[in-house]
Amino acid sequence: MLQGKKILLGVCGSIAAYKSALLTRLLVKQGAEVQVLLTADAKHFITPLTLSTLSRKPVYSDFFHSTDGTWNNHVELGLWADAMVIAPASANTLAKMANGICDNLLLATYLSARCPVFFAPAMDLDMYRHPSTTGNIESLLSYGNKLINAEDGELASGLSGVGRMAEPEHIVQHLEEHFTKTQRLAGKKVLITAGPTHEAIDPVRFIGNHSTGKMGFALAERFASQGATVEVVSGPSTLSSTHAAIHVTKVHSAEEMLEACEAKFDNVDIAVFAAAVADYRPDTPAQEKIKKSNNTLTLHLVKNPDIAATLGKRKKKQFTVGFALETTNEIAYAKEKLHKKNFNLIVLNSLKDQGAGFAHDTNKITILDHDGSSTFDLKSKQEVANDIVDVVCKKMGL
């Protein structure tokens, strides 16, 4: 259940911080991507080197790197994660979380997080049952945070009672149960086309476009995070995926992409045509490199197959989503494609919107269906993927 999940692990100043090493190891072993955030006091109990080695990522503690002045962006961290886990959560940090105090990177990230936040308290039994602590926990629960109860046992003070941080294995179990319940697309199969196609002119030249595949692969990650099994048919792109639920088939031309999609289409529940497929290809590619001899070169182009339209004619149960990148009459052209290609939804990009289109890390979209349209703000492509998947799930009643 944790394969490919992005987990923020916040570690506070508590003797239980030593357990964060095992927790990090267990999460990574389950296939999660773990970014550790340490408070200043936590570094007295466990070293950043230990946690960076186990997480395979730099550990963040400060807002700025002292060496080069670069910023650890708490907003991006909060948007990146599928879940945030604060373990151990000290009494001090619980109080700050409950009252909106924001004096370190961990707390700033907590206030920015849009994902579910789990907290696992760790403190002596009298601190744990103090009215101020129980009141802070009640406040955090009222905000929608999720408590992983402290456990009963011997404490660092030598006393015995409730206050021990939950064992790492139990915290992992809480996360697995959460993601099992929230995976709306469990058992569904999704086909996604991504990237450009390259249509050969000769062995070294081709007709193509500036698509990178970022949007298609962001969608693949999001569908997989919701429990789907995803087949990506990608044109030439540097992108790939290590998610166990994502299988990538690499192709070059539109004809190759169509052939790969036809082999998979009948067995999927959802198909998303995010690739920027070349409309035309050279009729007869040269077998040898074309030498520069004249001032002009004439190419005879023929129309490529329309992959989305071809599969739209044979769809049965599939929920299909198309993409339209337009420069003029955007809404009208998108509506025409929606009907012509038998889509359930179409995602419109306009090259007129700054920060949208090919090669950007951001995108601005309008989603149209047969009942109307919704326009979204400029967002990262990961956030755009979240919006698209949410709309698909709602339209499918999931």
Distance CA 351, CA 222 (A): 24
323 annotated among ligand-binding-site residues: yes
Asked if the peptide bond before residue 88 counts as cis, ω within 30 degrees of 0, the response is yes
Phi, psi of 297 (to 5 degrees): -135, 125
- Please indicate if the annotation marks 315 as binding a ligand: no
Q: Is 145 a residue of the active site?
A: no
Instruction: Give residue 80's identity as a one-letter amino acid code.
Output: W
316 appears as a binding residue in the annotation: no
H-state helical runs in the chain: 19-29, 48-55, 74-80, 91-99, 105-112, 125-128, 131-142, 168-182, 214-225, 254-265, 307-314, 330-340, 381-395
CB atoms within 10 A of CB 280: 14
Catalytic residue selected from 92, 209, 267, 329 = 209
**How many Å apart are CA 42 and CA 230, to the nearest integer?**
39
Asked if residue 381 belongs to a known ligand binding site, the reply is no
Instruction: Report yes or no: 228 and 190 within 8 Å, Cβ to Cβ.
Output: yes
* Contact assessment for residue 216 and residue 274, using Cβ atoms and an 8 Å cutoff: yes
289 is in an annotated binding site: yes
Query: Residues comprising the binding site for CTP?
Result: 279, 289, 323, 337, 341
Hey, which residues are catalytic here? 209
Query: Residues comprising the binding site?
Result: 279, 289, 323, 337, 341
